[in-house]
Amino acid sequence: AQKITQTQPGMFVQEKEAVTLDCTYDTSDQSYGLFWYKQPSSGEMIFLIYQGSYDEQNATEGRYSLNFQKARKSANLVISASQLGDSAMYFCAMRVTMDSNYQLIWGAGTKLIIKP
């Protein structure tokens, strides 16, 4: 079965600290991709970072980095130097191929609250 698991329903982090959001996945596909999205209270989903299954280096985008451990099937998001504006829901998603089409499988999300 193709599945994304986010085991942290919620997290509180002090401003300026680094935070790691966990994501594990399960797929039988050899080629897949992993995404992280941010959903602020306004509701819009904002694309943060992408890691392909064949990418050898961990992806980085500004303060966001993806700790990709293929053998453990994990793709954790690391946010460095957290800011109050980072408070939001964070979703991990996996791109798989179904019926020759790409689809995203979504995790249940982690609610991150940054404390001043």
Q: How far is the CB of 95 from another protein (least distance, A)?
A: 5
30 near another protein (CB under 8 A): no
Residue 109: phi and psi, rounded to 5, are 95, 160
The answer to whether the CB of 97 falls within 8 A of the CB of 9 is: no
Window 78-97: residues binding another protein (CB under 8 A): 91, 93, 95
Q: How far is the CB of 49 from another protein (least distance, A)?
A: 10
Beta carbon nearer to another protein, 33 or 76: 33
Q: How far is the CB of 2 from another protein (least distance, A)?
A: 12
Binding to another protein by CB under 8 A, coded x per residue (else -) over 42-81, reads xxxxxx--x-x-----------------------------
Q: What DSSP string describes 19-72?
A: EEE--EEE---SS-EEEEEEE-TT---EEEEEEETT--SPPEETTEEEEEETTT
Residue 86: phi and psi, rounded to 5, are -80, -10
**CA 84 to chain centroid:** 19
Applying CB under 8 A, the residues found at the interface with another protein are 33, 35, 37, 42-47, 50, 52, 91, 93, 95, 99, 101-104, 106-109
